[in-house]
Amino acid sequence: MAKLQGLAIPLGVLATALLVWLANPWVQPTGDLRQIVTVAFWAASILLLLALFQARKHPDAKDVEIEGPAFARFLFSNSRAGLLWLPIRLFVGFAWLDGGLHKLGDPAWMQGGTALRSYWERAAAIPEVGRPAISFEWYRDFLNTLLAGNAETWFAPLVTFGEIAVGLGLIVGLLTGVAAFFGALMNMSFLLAGSASTNPVLFTLAIGLILAWRVAGYYGFDRYVLPRLGTPWRPGALFLRAKPRMPVPGTSPGSRTDTGPSSSTGTSPGVSAA
């Protein structure tokens, strides 16, 4: 794994070259070759991410080469900026909660998922005239796989309760970054299926909340939850345990050892003996 760090540049060049071959409008691979190139691109991209993840341990990894604006740092890392994110968080949260509650009361969503299946069928259809709703074939294949497996029976309730959970999390400010991430994921799924509606606005606001995850929920439960939970790279108080004290050599465990400076007369420092 550590050897990947030195392959970051070659992997980046390879992934870029494969992407240019796939995306340019003039010369593109076709048929089975396109699938092979696509798999190679994703493999190179994943290996590149692993290489960059390893590069974080390099001595100069923390060097700031291009200084960002102070106001941006303030918005995304200062708790006082939570006042800015509070109305944004509530707007996005209530939008998700309202959509989820409407689906919760709709039998077409909660009893069989027929509403979701109809939505998938319309999105995956290829019209005889005009452009299809889905621009990426891999996403159409994904929806067709769900349709073939009758996944709407469990996927529709999943979407419903997911929207409610995202909405509640954003409204009360509990794990705001996580809630915003899954909200943005649903927005992107709807956009890939060709549905615009409010999704572009909600997606853009969700990205801001994700970037400001440390302070966006400060005026909410995150003010108390995040310091206790911490992060995977720095656990909070909830996961920290007091390390047992190692006994001083030559003493028995539990015995009190005075490690501070003392005089030969046994008096405290700064106190003279009479």
Q: Which DSSP string corresponds to 203-238?
A: HHHHHHHHHTTTTTTTTTTHHHHHHHHEETTEE-TT
Q: Which two tokens stand for residue 28?
A: 């593109």
Domain-located, residue 61: no
Q: Taking the model in full, what pTM does it have?
A: 0.81
Domains identified in the chain, total number: 2
Q: Is the dihedral of CA 226, 90, 103, 140 positive or negative?
A: negative
CB atoms within 10 A of CB 150: 12
- Tell me what the mean pLDDT of segment 161-170 comes to: 98
- Tell me what the mean pLDDT of segment 255-265 comes to: 44
Domain-located, residue 119: yes
127-150 pLDDT per residue, tens = 988 899 999 989 999 999 999 999
212-237 pLDDT per residue, tens = 999 999 999 999 999 999 888 888 88
With bands split at pLDDT 50, 70 and 90, how would you rate the model's confidence at 1? low
Q: Which two tokens stand for residue 171?
A: 């409204």
**Is residue 109 domain-shared with residue 177, that is, in the same domain?**
yes
Q: Which residue range forms the structural domain that includes residue 109?
A: 75-225
**Is residue 16 domain-shared with residue 127, that is, in the same domain?**
no
Q: Which two tokens stand for residue 182?
A: 């899954």
**Is residue 82 domain-shared with residue 152, that is, in the same domain?**
yes
**Is residue 81 domain-shared with residue 179, that is, in the same domain?**
yes
Domain-located, residue 265: no
Domain-located, residue 242: no
**Is residue 153 domain-shared with residue 88, that is, in the same domain?**
yes
Domain-located, residue 232: no
Distance in angstroms (rounded) separating the CA atoms of residues 221 and 235? 18
**Is residue 181 domain-shared with residue 214, that is, in the same domain?**
yes
**Is residue 90 domain-shared with residue 179, that is, in the same domain?**
yes
What pLDDT score was predicted for residue 270?
42
